[in-house]
């Protein structure tokens, strides 16, 4: 089967990373690259790819099927619209745009020109997320009612343009777009309300971290936290259900599940000494009352992103990442910015879409 020929626009860290992903996928191949920086043009050529002299030349190449956008965030919309109007299918790095209105314009252009546009929300495929999604869907700790999702480090905001508001920098757009997308994709209920605080402790004009509290219509609550000044990290995931709790510590997938054994105990919990007092409420459960399990990795049934993209282009599959879902995600991010700025809880239901 003929491979889709892809040209990468923006050959920095993410662009070169995409090139490696494409090399490993039998459905697609890199046809060429373009970057406004000569050093990155040379890097692309050193990796074995042809470098176009301009974006216009790249879009005019009739042998190319698709354009991959891996530039700073603020030019995603402009390049996407140009590429779609030139008859190319488009893959775009996240965040897809700086506003939901810009994404709506792209979606209109894609429909008008009958081209495929997909956003690389790649962390739907992360193993830790797939484990939590399996736990949630199969009710392995009963009905999940609270989820905490965190990524934390101590290296500040990376890169150069990511420090600048005009280019769409900041952690809400950098990492929040992933963590929020995972929750919206997993939880089988529309989001109802959001509250948030953004951190500016490093003195940049964009947020260096944030905490957001989400409430879904089915009663599930979620805490989403991103930090870049955390020298001691909290667990990547902490999940509470009606019959147990679960935790995943970090990217190495170390985790555990502790749930009710189902054995009915006659004796009341024994009080423990807590500081200068006693407590039964906070005493640990007895060994007979609980079952401890390893949090095992699960195999996803989803096609890899590029395989799915190629199938969508050929009309063989529906996109795993749907533009309507990403549009809702962008509207929620806008609501989080509003919640942080105003200090209010924002009701997002008037902007929600039907699942």
Judge whether 262 lies within some domain.
yes
- Compute CA 97 distance to the chain's CA centroid, rounded to the nearest angstrom: 14
Instruction: Quote the number of domains for the chain.
Output: 2
- Tokens representing residue 276 in the block: 């200068």
User: Distances in Å between the alpha carbon of 311 and those of 1, 163, 228?
Assistant: 11, 37, 38
| 311 belongs to a structural domain | no
Q: Which pLDDT value is given to residue 353?
A: 43
- In three-state secondary structure terms, 208 is coil
Task: Show which of 82, 103, 120 is a domain's final residue.
Answer: 120
Do residues 72 and 174 both lie within one domain?
A: no
With b for 16 or more beta-carbon neighbours within 10 A and e for fewer, the 143-177 pattern comes to ebeebbbbbbeeeebeeeebbbeebbbbbbbbbbb
Same domain, 114 and 141: no
Whether the CB-CB separation of 259 and 291 falls below 8 Å is answered with yes
At residue 236, the pLDDT reads: 98
In a domain, 315, yes or no: no
Paired residues of 226 in beta bridges: 151, 210
Same domain, 184 and 203: yes
Q: Do residue 69 and residue 129 come from a single domain?
A: no
* 312 in any annotated domain: no
Domain identity same for 107 and 231: no
Give the count of beta carbons closer than 10 Å to the beta carbon of residue 54. 10
Rounded-to-integer distance, Cα 250 and Cα 77, Å:
34
Looking at the structure, do residues 95 and 165 belong to the same domain, yes or no? no
Tell me, yes or no, whether 210 lies in a domain: yes
In this structure, the answer to whether residues 165 and 224 fall within a common structural domain is yes
Q: Which residues have CB under 8 Å from 36's CB, separation 6+?
A: none
Is residue 233 within 8 A of residue 225, CB to CB? The reply is no
Same domain, 174 and 71: no
- CATH number where 186 lies: 3.30.360.10
pLDDT of 158 reads 87
Residue pair 327/107 in contact by the 8 Å Cβ criterion? yes
114 occurs within a structural domain: yes
In-domain check, residue 141:
yes
Last residue of a domain, one of 120, 146, 171: 120
The predicted model scores a pTM of 0.95
End-of-domain residue from the set 104, 120, 136? 120
If asked whether residues 176 and 62 sit together in one domain, one would say no
Task: Give me the pLDDT at residue 351, please.
Answer: 59
**Structural domain includes residue 321:** no
The CATH number that applies at residue 111 is 3.40.50.720
Distance, in Å, from the CA atom of 128 to the CA atom of 149, rounded to the nearest integer, reads 11
Domain ranges, residue 220: 124-301+332-349
Whole-angstrom distance, CA of residue 15 vs CA of residue 21:
10
Say if residue 150 is in the same domain as residue 268: yes
Give the residues of the chain that fall short of pLDDT 50.
Answer: 353-355
pLDDT number for residue 160: 85
Residues 159 and 244 in one domain: yes
Rg (CA), the chain: 23
The SS3 of residue 142 is strand
- Number of neighbouring beta carbons within 10 Å of residue 204: 19
- Strand ranges in the chain using DSSP code E only, listed in sequence order: 4-9, 28-34, 50-51, 66-69, 89-92, 117-119, 144-152, 191-199, 209-216, 221-227, 237-241, 244-248, 255-260, 272-274, 277-279, 290-294, 346-347
Chain segment 267-277, per-residue pLDDT in tens? 778 899 999 99
Same domain, 221 and 149: yes
Tokens of 336: 């989080």
């Amino acid at each position: 089967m003929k491979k889709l020929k892809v040209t990468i626009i923006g050959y920095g860290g993410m662009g070169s990373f995409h090139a490696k992903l494409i090399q490993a996928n039998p459905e697609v191949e890199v046809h060429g690259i373009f970057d406004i920086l000569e050093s990155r043009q040379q890097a692309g050529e050193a990796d074995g790819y042809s470098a176009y002299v301009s974006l216009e030349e790249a879009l005019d190449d009739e042998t190319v099927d698709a354009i991959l956008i891996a530039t700073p965030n603020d030019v995603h919309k402009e390049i996407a619209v140009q590429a779609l109007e030139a008859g190319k299918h488009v893959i775009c790095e996240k965040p897809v745009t700086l506003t939901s209105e810009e994404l709506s314009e792209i979606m209109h252009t894609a429909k008008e020109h009958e081209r495929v546009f997909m956003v690389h929300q790649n962390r739907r495929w992360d193993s830790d997320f797939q484990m939590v999604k399996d736990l949630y869907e199969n009710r392995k700790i009963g009905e999940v009612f609270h989820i905490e999702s965190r990524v934390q480090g101590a290296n500040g905001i990376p890169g150069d343009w990511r420090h600048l508001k005009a280019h769409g920098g900041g952690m809400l757009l950098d990492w929040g777009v992933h963590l929020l997308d995972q929750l919206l994709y997993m939880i089988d209920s529309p989001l109802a309300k959001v509250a948030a605080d953004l951190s500016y402790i490093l003195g940049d004009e964009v947020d260096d971290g944030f905490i957001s509290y989400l409430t879904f219509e089915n009663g599930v609550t979620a805490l989403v936290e991103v930090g870049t000044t955390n020298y001691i990290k909290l667990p990547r995931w902490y999940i509470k259900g009606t019959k147990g709790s679960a935790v995943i510590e970090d990217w190495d997938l170390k985790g555990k599940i502790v749930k009710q054994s189902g054995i009915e105990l006659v004796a009341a919990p024994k009080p423990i000494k807590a500081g200068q007092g006693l407590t039964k409420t906070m005493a640990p459960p007895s060994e007979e009352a609980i079952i401890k399990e390893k949090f095992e990795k699960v195999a996803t049934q989803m096609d890899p992103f590029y395989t799915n993209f190629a199938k969508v282009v050929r009309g063989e599959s529906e996109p795993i990442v749907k533009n309507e879902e990403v549009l809702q995600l962008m509207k929620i991010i806008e609501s989080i910015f509003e919640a942080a700025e105003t200090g209010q809880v924002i009701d997002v239901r008037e902007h929600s879409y039907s699942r």
